[in-house]
Structures are given as structure tokens and as C-alpha cells.
Structure 1
């Protein structure tokens, strides 16, 4: 948590704005949401508030309070109920991804719930999410970031095979941030904007900020045949997933040849583990994902 003076200033502005909204909208709750609710702010940060009303109402929009912009999003109690319903269970399967598509489209809304902090609220609403819903949010957010990583890996495969190495370098830098996001989500942080990664990465450490870990220097010319530099991505994603889906299964050999090669990345749905590269998906057992992760970690150290 940052102790900067602009954080305290914005929290006071949020409390003032919430009191005004509570007077104007009878029966409404007002929640502080976003990075500020997580104790993250800079000198020009806006204050984001969620106004929850019994029925849908036109939103009050934005205003300036003591020089600080306050953005208010108005939603109905029914809308918040629908958001919560998506956090009741992690239900995506390899053959049924419709709910996952819905969740990914609304992940920013679910992040509002995950970060929400009551400012004007009834006692019954004091706990925005119960622990089980927070855990489900983590799983949806981590699955989302693994999907993003898989999409970037597919781009890297195509760009490197086409000789578009400067383009691949840009995607490689983007992948480094996505991998870091998987690690912060696995550690319990909400999925906030990339600019907050140095703060989120440092929450379990003594230093105030940690740079986003750089990925190894890529060797695009040999990527298809020999890509130990990609193993660090594979191992770190597997480590993040195993935080939320731990297993004590004995490692089992992975029979399919080439699954440790360039582009293959792990994912975990409610019906188990699989490796993905592009449109190809190979199911794994708990034991085989452990063996695959250990192999990736060895290659990353070599």
C-alpha cells in the first residue's frame, strides 16, 4: 500500500462524494472501486465510485471536487446481483466455454466487485464478496490471463516463422507483462491496469516497487526447433496455475512428443489441465502437468 499524500487526499474526496450521493439517492449504496480502493494512486488519479441503486437510474457522471475528478458509475442492484452470480462458480470446460466468454467480456465489472470498498452502505452489504467468490474471481482472472498469453504465443509463432522479428519483439515485451499479471493474480491481487504491476509485484516484499521481470532474450531464428528461452514463460504460467490448483500427484511422463516446444502453454479449466498451442489442445493429468512443469523449469534454468 502506498502512503503517498495524494492517496489520503483522494480517499477524503471519495468519502465526501459518497455522502453527497447518499443524500441524493435514497436507499443507495456507494462503493469505492478500482486501484484507489486497493491503496494505489498517483498525483492525477481519478476517484472511481460505484453507485448501486434499487432500480436503474441515470448516472450522475463526473465532477470535480477540490480539483480531483470523481467518476461515478450508476448500476442497479440487479446488475450487481448478476455480476455476483458469475462469481458463484468457476464453470468453464473445454467443451463449454460460453460462460468464460461472458466472464471475459465482463471481467472489468467483476474487478469492480473484487476491489469494492463500502463508503455508504447498509450493514448487510458490508462484505462485498464472500471468500468463495473472491477465490472464484481469482480463477476467472488467472484463466483470462492464460488465454491472453496463449493468444500472444500464437502471434509469436506466426511472426517468428514469417521472419517478422521486430514485430515479435514487441509481442514478447507484452507477454512479459501478461506473465507478471498471472503471478500477481495467483498471489491474490485483482486484475488492475498494467501500470500498477510494480506495486502489485512488491506486495509480499520489503521494497516498495518491483520491476516487471524481463523474459530471456529471444532467439527467433531457432525458435521452432530449439527454444529454451520460451521455457521461462511455460514454467512461470504453470507455477501460477498450480498456486490455485495445487496437486500432490506423482509426476507422470508426458507421452506426446514436442509438448515442451515453442508456443505450448498450460491452462486449467474446471474439467482439468491441458496444454494449448493455437487451436491444438492436449489434456493432461495432475501428474503429467507436474512433470511438464518440472521439465519447463529445468529448461528455463539451462
Structure 2
């Protein structure tokens, strides 16, 4: 005897279940439990050749039909056994989530080019899925201000003005300078070593073929580690919310010859100052790093604008 669970999208209020060959077991409260014999049909699929199945209608929603989809098959158990209070299994990501993650990565990695208009149809074809999950993904990206829609044309990556970049770095400076001031003299040897390990990962990105995406990912972890060490979760949340916006101009800055090596040298100076617990040196090295990053991002922005004009 097997037990299997189903989730109902809609259930009739009058009969409780629109299903041939099923009968209620527990009808007192929701979720209601039903039992069906071999071959019982449910709209949307056949229960198969099992001798006895038990399933639950999880939601009571007004409607005329019951549509149920398999949720998670359980191991065979006695029908009289109580339900075990276990956490549900993790389900595979939906197409909406996969499309969102893929498109966002394409924006941040530079695979989707700024200044070009992409249609919903060509994005769906490129991903090999229908347009519906792509549309949902684009709505999420638009809500995050990473893209803009063009009526009857498609979408393009959001354009960051010089003022936008100035404002982003103003906020970034406020967060990071305050964070390093809090952690200076309070970082353990293990935390300093962790910073050195992240820095080493960045250095390895410069060997052979420069891996821009891995370099920026390590850069993000370096700065986020310091902010998290401050213990201020609101600074962490704010930094995470703007980091994607910073990545786009930062990528432009990395196209400048020698900038990646400069970033590593500036990070080395920051780690050295933190290891020595030298507050003045920490403030100076962090401020120099942020000023240089902003200057290079603005120069990259101007060059990109000239190429587009």
C-alpha cells in the first residue's frame, strides 16, 4: 500500500472533489484526504497501476474542477500510519527563475550588450523556452531597474548616467568607509587570512586568460566580507542591493589597461593596513581605492557613450 500526495489548484465547494473513483477519508478539515483505487482518473492524469493511493487536497478554492499534480511520492507505508512531520523536498527551480538568473547573469557579465534592443521572442529562442517565463523574468529585472522596456520593440539594459554612477559611489563610500572603521583592530587572524585567500583568487584571475566575471565575483566577496564583519545587517542589505548596479560600471572600468592589477594592489594595501590595525592607513587605502574605482567607472561610461553616439 502506498501513500502519495497531491496539491489541488481548484476544488469544487459542492462535491469537494471532481474525480472518478475517489472517496473522502478525512472530510472534517482542510487539507482533506482522499483515497482512490487502481486506475482512478483525476483531471490532468491517471494515477497509474497502484493498488491504493492516498492524496491530499491542500487548498480549498472556489471552482468547478479539481486539477492535481504529483507533489512528492512517499515510501510505502501502512494506511493507518500517521503522517510524518518532515520538511518538503526541494523542488527544481522553475523556468521563471532559471530565465531570470540566466538573463541577469547575461546583463552583469556583459553578454547582453548595452545599447541594443532585445525582443522577448529572440530571448525565448536563445534560452530554448516559451515566451511566458521570459516575460516574467523581464518584469523582475525591470523592477530591479536593470532593464527598460521599449513599447512594441523589446527591452534594453538600463543606461547609467554619470549622475547615477556618482550617486552609487557616494552611497558605496558611506557604507564601506564606516564598515572598515568599525572592524579595524577587531578582525581575527582567521578573518585576515580569509581576506588574503580572496585576494589570491583575484590574482589567479589575471593568469593566462583574464576571467573578468570571476575577478568581479572575488571583488564582490572581498568588499562584502568587510561589511559583514562590521555586524551591521542593514549595511549588508543596502550594499547587496546596489552591488549589481556597481558591477556594470565596474566592468567598464576593468576594460582600462592595467586597472585589474591596480585593484589587486589597492586590495593588498587595505589588507596590510587591517592586519596592522592602523586606522589612519585603513581609511586612506580604502578611500584611495574607492576614488580610483569611481574615476575609472566614469571614464568607462564616457567612452561607452562615445562609442554609442
Q: TM-score range by the shorter chain?
A: under 0.3
Normalised by the length of structure 2, the TM-score is: 0.21
Greater Rg by CA: 2
Normalised by the length of structure 1, the TM-score is: 0.21
